[in-house]
Protein backbone atom coordinates (compact mmCIF):
# COMPACT_ATOMS: atom_id res chain seq x y z
CA UNK A 1 0.00 0.00 0.00
CA UNK A 2 1.44 3.35 -1.01
CA UNK A 3 1.90 6.02 1.65
CA UNK A 4 1.11 9.26 -0.18
CA UNK A 5 2.41 11.26 2.79
CA UNK A 6 5.84 9.63 3.17
CA UNK A 7 8.93 11.73 2.52
CA UNK A 8 10.28 9.30 -0.08
CA UNK A 9 6.98 9.30 -2.00
CA UNK A 10 6.65 13.07 -1.97
CA UNK A 11 10.27 13.54 -3.05
CA UNK A 12 9.82 11.23 -6.06
CA UNK A 13 6.41 12.71 -6.83
CA UNK A 14 7.88 16.21 -7.05
CA UNK A 15 10.01 15.14 -10.01
CA UNK A 16 7.26 13.17 -11.75
CA UNK A 17 4.78 16.00 -11.20
CA UNK A 18 7.31 18.47 -12.61
CA UNK A 19 7.67 16.37 -15.76
CA UNK A 20 3.93 16.21 -16.23
CA UNK A 21 3.40 19.94 -15.68
CA UNK A 22 6.24 20.96 -18.00
CA UNK A 23 5.30 18.35 -20.60
CA UNK A 24 1.72 19.55 -20.76
CA UNK A 25 2.87 23.16 -20.91
CA UNK A 26 5.18 22.40 -23.83
CA UNK A 27 2.36 20.53 -25.55
CA UNK A 28 0.27 23.69 -25.29
CA UNK A 29 3.06 25.69 -26.94
CA UNK A 30 3.71 23.06 -29.61
CA UNK A 31 0.07 22.87 -30.69
CA UNK A 32 -0.08 26.66 -30.91
CA UNK A 33 2.97 26.64 -33.17
CA UNK A 34 1.31 23.93 -35.26
CA UNK A 35 -1.82 26.06 -35.54
CA UNK A 36 0.28 28.63 -37.40
CA UNK A 37 2.02 25.99 -39.50
CA UNK A 38 -1.31 24.35 -40.46
CA UNK A 39 -3.63 27.40 -40.66
CA UNK A 40 -6.47 25.43 -42.24
CA UNK A 41 -6.69 23.49 -38.96
CA UNK A 42 -5.85 26.48 -36.78
CA UNK A 43 -9.00 26.56 -34.63
CA UNK A 44 -8.80 22.81 -33.94
CA UNK A 45 -5.13 22.99 -33.01
CA UNK A 46 -5.76 25.99 -30.76
CA UNK A 47 -8.47 23.94 -29.05
CA UNK A 48 -6.04 21.07 -28.50
CA UNK A 49 -3.47 23.53 -27.16
CA UNK A 50 -5.97 24.93 -24.66
CA UNK A 51 -6.73 21.41 -23.45
CA UNK A 52 -3.02 20.83 -22.81
CA UNK A 53 -2.81 24.06 -20.83
CA UNK A 54 -5.74 22.94 -18.73
CA UNK A 55 -3.99 19.63 -18.10
CA UNK A 56 -0.91 21.46 -16.84
CA UNK A 57 -3.02 23.47 -14.40
CA UNK A 58 -4.85 20.34 -13.25
CA UNK A 59 -1.61 18.51 -12.49
CA UNK A 60 -0.27 21.53 -10.62
CA UNK A 61 -3.33 21.16 -8.41
CA UNK A 62 -2.51 17.46 -7.91
CA UNK A 63 0.90 18.41 -6.55
CA UNK A 64 -0.59 21.15 -4.42
CA UNK A 65 -3.05 18.65 -2.96
CA UNK A 66 -0.10 16.62 -1.64
CA UNK A 67 1.82 19.69 -0.54
CA UNK A 68 4.40 19.11 -3.29
CA UNK A 69 6.19 21.72 -5.38
CA UNK A 70 6.92 20.31 -8.86
CA UNK A 71 10.58 20.09 -9.84
CA UNK A 72 10.28 22.35 -12.86
CA UNK A 73 14.03 22.79 -13.31
CA UNK A 74 14.77 19.12 -13.84
CA UNK A 75 11.76 18.71 -16.11
CA UNK A 76 12.85 21.57 -18.36
CA UNK A 77 16.33 20.09 -18.53
CA UNK A 78 15.03 16.66 -19.54
CA UNK A 79 12.54 17.99 -22.07
CA UNK A 80 14.96 20.53 -23.59
CA UNK A 81 16.43 18.27 -26.33
CA UNK A 82 12.97 17.21 -27.50
CA UNK A 83 11.71 20.79 -27.43
CA UNK A 84 14.75 22.02 -29.38
CA UNK A 85 14.18 19.34 -31.99
CA UNK A 86 10.54 20.42 -32.34
CA UNK A 87 11.54 24.08 -32.74
CA UNK A 88 14.19 23.15 -35.33
CA UNK A 89 11.66 21.22 -37.40
CA UNK A 90 9.13 24.02 -37.04
CA UNK A 91 11.67 26.55 -38.30
CA UNK A 92 12.43 24.26 -41.24
CA UNK A 93 8.72 24.11 -42.07
CA UNK A 94 8.64 20.34 -41.54
CA UNK A 95 5.09 19.98 -40.31
CA UNK A 96 5.19 16.20 -40.52
CA UNK A 97 8.19 16.01 -38.18
CA UNK A 98 6.53 18.37 -35.69
CA UNK A 99 3.41 16.22 -35.64
CA UNK A 100 5.46 13.07 -35.12
CA UNK A 101 7.28 14.63 -32.16
CA UNK A 102 4.27 16.12 -30.41
CA UNK A 103 1.31 14.28 -31.88
CA UNK A 104 2.71 10.76 -31.91
CA UNK A 105 5.76 10.34 -29.68
CA UNK A 106 4.94 12.75 -26.86
CA UNK A 107 1.24 11.84 -26.85
CA UNK A 108 1.97 8.09 -26.83
CA UNK A 109 4.48 8.67 -24.03
CA UNK A 110 1.91 10.66 -22.05
CA UNK A 111 -0.88 8.14 -22.52
CA UNK A 112 1.43 5.30 -21.49
CA UNK A 113 2.51 7.23 -18.40
CA UNK A 114 -1.01 8.14 -17.33
CA UNK A 115 -2.31 4.62 -17.89
CA UNK A 116 0.50 3.28 -15.71
CA UNK A 117 -0.12 5.91 -13.04
CA UNK A 118 -3.91 5.66 -12.85
CA UNK A 119 -4.08 2.41 -10.80
CA UNK A 120 -1.73 3.86 -8.16
CA UNK A 121 -2.89 7.49 -8.19
CA UNK A 122 -4.08 9.15 -5.01
CA UNK A 123 -7.85 9.76 -4.75
CA UNK A 124 -7.55 13.41 -5.81
CA UNK A 125 -5.37 12.73 -8.86
CA UNK A 126 -7.18 9.62 -10.13
CA UNK A 127 -10.23 11.25 -11.78
CA UNK A 128 -8.06 14.03 -13.21
CA UNK A 129 -5.72 11.48 -14.73
CA UNK A 130 -8.60 9.47 -16.21
CA UNK A 131 -10.01 12.58 -17.88
CA UNK A 132 -6.61 13.55 -19.28
CA UNK A 133 -6.14 10.08 -20.79
CA UNK A 134 -9.32 10.59 -22.81
CA UNK A 135 -8.11 13.98 -24.05
CA UNK A 136 -4.65 12.75 -25.03
CA UNK A 137 -6.20 10.02 -27.15
CA UNK A 138 -7.97 12.76 -29.11
CA UNK A 139 -4.67 14.59 -29.68
CA UNK A 140 -3.01 11.41 -30.87
CA UNK A 141 -5.91 10.82 -33.23
CA UNK A 142 -5.48 14.23 -34.86
CA UNK A 143 -1.81 13.58 -35.66
CA UNK A 144 -2.54 10.09 -36.97
CA UNK A 145 -5.26 11.36 -39.31
CA UNK A 146 -3.18 14.28 -40.64
CA UNK A 147 -0.14 12.13 -41.33
CA UNK A 148 -2.15 9.18 -42.68
CA UNK A 149 -3.81 11.42 -45.28
CA UNK A 150 -0.39 12.27 -46.69
CA UNK A 151 1.31 8.90 -46.38
CA UNK A 152 -1.53 7.08 -48.14
CA UNK A 153 -1.30 9.33 -51.22
CA UNK A 154 2.34 8.38 -51.59
CA UNK A 155 3.98 11.51 -50.22
CA UNK A 156 7.50 10.13 -49.94
CA UNK A 157 8.77 13.27 -48.20
CA UNK A 158 6.32 12.70 -45.35
CA UNK A 159 7.27 9.03 -45.03
CA UNK A 160 10.95 9.94 -44.89
CA UNK A 161 10.29 12.69 -42.36
CA UNK A 162 8.34 10.35 -40.08
CA UNK A 163 11.13 7.78 -40.04
CA UNK A 164 13.97 10.30 -39.72
CA UNK A 165 12.52 12.34 -36.87
CA UNK A 166 11.42 9.20 -35.03
CA UNK A 167 15.03 8.06 -35.11
CA UNK A 168 16.06 11.35 -33.51
CA UNK A 169 13.23 11.80 -30.98
CA UNK A 170 12.75 8.25 -29.71
CA UNK A 171 16.19 7.96 -28.02
CA UNK A 172 15.55 11.27 -26.24
CA UNK A 173 12.16 10.06 -25.06
CA UNK A 174 13.46 6.71 -23.83
CA UNK A 175 16.32 8.53 -22.12
CA UNK A 176 13.76 10.50 -20.12
CA UNK A 177 12.12 7.25 -19.08
CA UNK A 178 15.47 5.81 -17.98
CA UNK A 179 16.23 8.92 -15.90
CA UNK A 180 12.86 8.79 -14.16
CA UNK A 181 12.68 5.01 -13.62
CA UNK A 182 13.70 5.09 -9.92
CA UNK A 183 11.08 7.73 -9.14
CA UNK A 184 8.41 5.88 -11.11
CA UNK A 185 9.02 2.80 -8.99
CA UNK A 186 8.72 4.80 -5.76
CA UNK A 187 5.27 6.12 -6.70
CA UNK A 188 4.09 2.62 -7.65
CA UNK A 189 4.67 2.55 -11.42
CA UNK A 190 6.61 -0.12 -13.29
CA UNK A 191 8.95 1.48 -15.89
CA UNK A 192 8.97 -1.74 -17.91
CA UNK A 193 5.18 -1.74 -18.14
CA UNK A 194 5.27 1.91 -19.19
CA UNK A 195 7.87 1.16 -21.87
CA UNK A 196 5.79 -1.75 -23.13
CA UNK A 197 2.66 0.40 -23.28
CA UNK A 198 4.51 3.21 -25.06
CA UNK A 199 6.00 0.78 -27.58
CA UNK A 200 2.59 -0.72 -28.29
CA UNK A 201 0.93 2.68 -28.73
CA UNK A 202 3.69 4.04 -30.95
CA UNK A 203 3.68 0.89 -33.05
CA UNK A 204 -0.08 1.13 -33.48
CA UNK A 205 0.25 4.79 -34.45
CA UNK A 206 2.79 4.04 -37.17
CA UNK A 207 0.68 1.16 -38.46
CA UNK A 208 -2.30 3.53 -38.59
CA UNK A 209 -0.24 5.71 -40.94
CA UNK A 210 0.41 2.76 -43.20
CA UNK A 211 3.85 1.68 -42.00
CA UNK A 212 4.57 -2.01 -41.55
CA UNK A 213 4.87 -3.23 -37.95
CA UNK A 214 8.50 -4.18 -38.52
CA UNK A 215 9.36 -0.51 -39.15
CA UNK A 216 8.10 0.52 -35.71
CA UNK A 217 9.94 -2.35 -34.05
CA UNK A 218 13.16 -1.41 -35.82
CA UNK A 219 12.88 2.24 -34.80
CA UNK A 220 12.11 1.38 -31.18
CA UNK A 221 14.90 -1.19 -30.97
CA UNK A 222 17.41 1.29 -32.36
CA UNK A 223 16.28 3.97 -29.93
CA UNK A 224 16.44 1.59 -26.98
CA UNK A 225 19.97 0.54 -27.91
CA UNK A 226 21.07 4.16 -27.81
CA UNK A 227 19.10 5.32 -24.77
CA UNK A 228 18.72 2.44 -22.33
The alpha-helical segments, DSSP class H, found in the chain are: 7-37, 42-65, 72-91, 95-98, 107-117, 125-151, 156-186, 191-209, 213-227
pLDDT at 228 (0 to 100): 64
pLDDT in tens, 127-175: 999 999 988 888 888 999 999 888 876 667 878 888 899 999 999 999 9
Closest CA relative to residue 107, chosen from 74, 143, 59: 143
pLDDT in tens, 40-77: 999 999 999 999 999 999 999 999 999 999 999 999 99
| pLDDT above 70 (res 189) | yes
Give the Cα separation of 149 and 159 in Å (integer).
Answer: 11
pLDDT in tens, 69-128: 999 999 999 999 999 999 999 999 999 999 999 999 999 999 999 999 999 999 999 999
Q: Please tell me whether residue 190 adopts helix, strand or coil conformation.
A: coil
Percent pLDDT > 90 in the chain is 77
C-beta separation of 170 from 203 below 8 A: no
Buried/exposed 60-75: b ≥16 CB within 10 Å, e otherwise: bebbeebebebbeebb
**How is domain 7-227 classified at the CATH fold level?**
Ferritin (1.20.1260)
Q: Which residue has the higher pLDDT, 228 or 173?
A: 173
Amino acid sequence: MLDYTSAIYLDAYSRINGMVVVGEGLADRHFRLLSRAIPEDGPELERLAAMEGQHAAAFVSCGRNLGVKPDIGLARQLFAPLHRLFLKKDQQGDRSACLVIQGLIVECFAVAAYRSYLPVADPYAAPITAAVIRDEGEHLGYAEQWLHARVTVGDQAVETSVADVSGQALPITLGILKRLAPDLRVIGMDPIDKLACFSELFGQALEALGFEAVVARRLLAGAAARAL
